[in-house]
């Protein structure tokens, strides 16, 4: 599965990344969802996952900075979870 983000900061997961969205990570569905929930910001609707910093970014550069920071955190968490599943030390 692939996790992707929209300019609004909303994160979705699907088998393919739609036009207009940017892929931020990929992996097994359950592990990917757990890592996203562990690292994202929850929207006011208590359902949507957001990349912290993107919704309030005042310009595209600030949004990209927030995205790069989040991708680093997400991929660190995802790598740790995948290593644990594989039986490797964290």
DSSP classification of residue 89: -
pLDDT in the model for residue 86: 87
Kindly tell me if the per-residue pLDDT of 87 is higher than 90. no
Contacts of 21 (CB under 8 A, 6+ apart): 4, 5, 6, 12
* Domains in the chain: boundaries: 2-86
The model's pLDDT over 8-58, given as tens digits with 9 standing for 90+, comes to: 999 999 999 999 999 999 999 999 999 999 999 999 999 999 999 999 999
Contact yes or no for 55/42 (Cβ under 8 A) = no
CA dihedral (26, 12, 62, 81) in degrees, to 10, reads: -40
pLDDT in the model for residue 90: 52
pLDDT in the model for residue 6: 97
Counting Cα atoms < 13 Å in the Cβ hemisphere of 61 gives 0
pLDDT in the model for residue 33: 97
């Amino acid at each position: 599965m692939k996790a992707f983000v929209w300019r609004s900061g909303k994160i979705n997961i699907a088998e393919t990344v739609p036009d207009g969205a940017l892929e931020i990570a990929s992996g097994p569905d359950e592990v990917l969802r757990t890592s996203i929930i562990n690292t994202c910001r929850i929207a006011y609707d208590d359902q949507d996952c957001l990349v912290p910093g993107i919704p309030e970014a005042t310009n595209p550069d600030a949004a990209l900075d927030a995205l790069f920071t989040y991708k680093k955190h997400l991929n660190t968490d995802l790598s740790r979870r995948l290593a644990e599943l594989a039986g490797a030390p964290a």
